[in-house]
Amino acid sequence: MEKMERNDSQVPIKKLDDLRKEISDIDIRIIKLLEKRAQLVKDVGAVKRSKKLSFYSPDRETKIYEIIEQNASGDFPVKSLKTIFREIMSASIKLEEPLVISYLGPEATFTHEAAIERFGLSLHYMPEESIEDVFMDVEAERADFGVVPIENSIEGVVNYTLDMFVNSSVKIVSEIIIDINHNLLSKSDSLEHIRSIYSHPNALGQCKSWIKKHLPNVSLFETTSTAKAAKIAEKDETVAAIASSAAAKIYSLNILARGIEDKNNNITRFLVIGNKIPKKSGSDKTSFMFTIKDRVGALYQILEPFYRNSINLTRIESRPSKQKSWSYIFYVDVDGHTDDRKVRESLKEIEKFTVFLKILGSYPKSQRS
């Protein structure tokens, strides 16, 4: 009998060919199960089509990720399982209906990265030059969904996105939270050749300490996006861009330095906008905006019902209304869904204290790995 090799713990191990055959057998079973899943997905698509339901269901997506977390107990990382299932869901949506996703472009921006993080690689992406264009795509149904930035942990709120909700009919259907990692990209393979750096002003500001330490004498130039900076760097070896690693692949640039942001908690939140509020997922957030009547204690009267009903306010922002001097619109995020009794009753109660009240959406909270 052939003598079995043993590892350091003295547990017998199979031959490499045997192990690989076993893996191949499992792979075949996975393929067969995915094909069976695809047939079920097509049946689901037919039902959705007949009932005129949305082909993207954030509540269902959240439940799938919850199933992964509840059932993953082995060596395979949960984050990797979620990535795999994101692509399975992306391909499944394409089988049901080839959705179009509009986003603030160009290709390889962090908004593009966020869109792929949510929808996977199988759908059709449509880059736009402005946040307004993304809203208009969704309103006019040129796109099924749109992805726009809403706030950064360092730079704060994207006011233009907030302002767009005032007159727009779109709804927030999901949120995406990603870590922003800046990289120095160039056609050159050495920092010594770099004479100028291009990037979006926010990215330049977030990397200023690193630039001062490593490239104190270079000239800095602002661009409308990190991806546009990468396009410029593509044409000149003395130019570097601060952009994502995805931009390095798309524009064939070398990554001269990774993670050059000055703070390691650089997080950006993005919104997915659509035309219908999704169903409850069990872990939801509701966003709304309002203007208040000009009277003493008006803001207290708005906030008090949420306190009384033990509803957590996670964010409140104010912006000039642009309709009347010294008039402000308040934007609020609270925990819960508009189908929750306490949330619904609180919103109904505050309506009498407002001049204008608009529900922007109820949607699943971001499921970060």
**Each residue's pLDDT tens digit, 55-107:** 888 888 888 888 998 898 888 988 899 889 989 988 888 888 788 999 988 88
- Considering 237, 272, 307, which residue would you say is the last residue of a domain? 272
Structure tokens at 101: 């996703």
* 27 vs 259: CA distance, rounded Å: 36
Residues 235 and 296 in one domain: no
CA distances, 126 to each of 101, 120, 152, 270 (Å):
6, 14, 23, 16
Residue 344: CATH number of its domain: 3.30.70.260
Residues 108 and 175 in one domain: yes
> Under the phi-then-psi rule, with left for phi > 0, alpha for psi from -120 to 50, and beta for the rest, what region is 75?
alpha
Largest pairwise CA distance in the chain? 92
| Residue 181 burial (CB count, 10 A) | 15
Give the domain range for residue 70.
16-95
Which residue, 238, 272, 306, sits at the end of a domain? 272
- CATH assignment at residue 204: 3.40.190.10
Closest CA to 334 of 355, 353, 308, 297: 308
Phi first, then psi, for residue 361 (nearest 5°) are 160, 155
Q: What are the DSSP calls for 286-330, one per residue?
A: EEEEEEE-SSTTHHHHHHHHHHHTTPPEEEEEEEE-SSSTT-EEE
Task: Look up the CATH number of the domain holding residue 91.
Answer: 1.20.59.10
Question: Does the residue 5 lie in any domain?
Answer: no
Least confident of 44-53, 240-249, 280-289: 44-53
User: pTM higher than 0.75, yes or no?
Assistant: yes
Is residue 26 one of the residues assigned to a domain?
A: yes
- Asked whether residue 6 is domain-assigned, the answer is no
Residue 129 lies in a domain: yes
The residues, ordered by sequence, that sit 6+ positions from 75 with a Cβ below 8 Å of its Cβ are: none
Q: What whole-number distance in Å separates Cα of residue 258 and Cα of residue 242?
A: 10
Both tokens of 325, joined, read: 């001097």
Q: Are residues 176 and 188 in the same domain?
A: no
Active-site annotation holder among 62, 111, 226, 268: 268
CA 259 – CA 47 distance, rounded (Å): 46
270 is catalytic: yes
**Dist CA 146 CA 128 (whole Å):** 10
pLDDT at 109 over 80: yes
Same domain, 131 and 188: no
Shared-domain flag, residues 236 and 292: no
Q: Give a yes or no: residue 175 inside a domain.
A: yes
Q: Taking a C-beta distance cutoff of 8 angstroms, is the pair 134, 147 a contact?
A: yes
The lowest-confidence range among 155-159, 265-269, 281-285, 331-335 is 155-159
In the set 110, 119, 135, 270, the catalytic residue is 270
Secondary structure letter of residue 336 according to DSSP: S
What three-state secondary structure class fits 30?
helix
The gap from C-alpha 52 to its chain's centroid, in whole angstroms, comes to 26
Same structural domain for residues 352 and 339? yes
Residue 369 forms part of a structural domain: no
Residue 283 shares a structural domain with residue 359 = yes
Q: What is the pLDDT of residues 229-259, one digit of tens each?
A: 999 999 999 999 999 988 998 899 999 999 9
Judgement on whether residues 335 and 301 belong to the same structural domain of the protein? yes
Domain match, 86 and 111 both: no
At 184, is the secondary structure helix, strand, or coil? strand
Q: What is the mean pLDDT of the chain?
A: 88
Give pLDDT, residue 9: 52
CA distance 203 to 266: 11
More confident residue, 125 or 298: 125
C-alpha 113: how far from chain center: 8
User: Quick check: 197 pLDDT over 70?
Assistant: yes
Within-domain flag for 2 = no
116 and 195 assigned to the same domain: no
Residue 8 within a domain: no
Q: Among the listed ranges 96-105, 129-138, 144-153, 289-298, which one has the minimum average pLDDT value?
A: 289-298
Residue after which a domain boundary falls, among 224, 249, 272? 272
Judge whether 262 and 126 are in contact, CB under 8 Å. Answer: no
The total of structural domains in the chain comes to: 4
Which pair of structure tokens corresponds to residue 63?
């439940």
- Pairwise CA distance, residues 205 & 209, whole Å: 9
Residues 359 and 312 both lie in one domain: yes
Indicate if 268 belongs to the active site. Answer: yes
Give, as one character, the DSSP assignment of residue 328. Answer: E
CA distance 32 to 27: 9
Q: Are residues 287 and 355 in the same domain?
A: yes
Six-digit token string for 75: 């060596």
Residue 187 CB neighbours (<10 A):
18
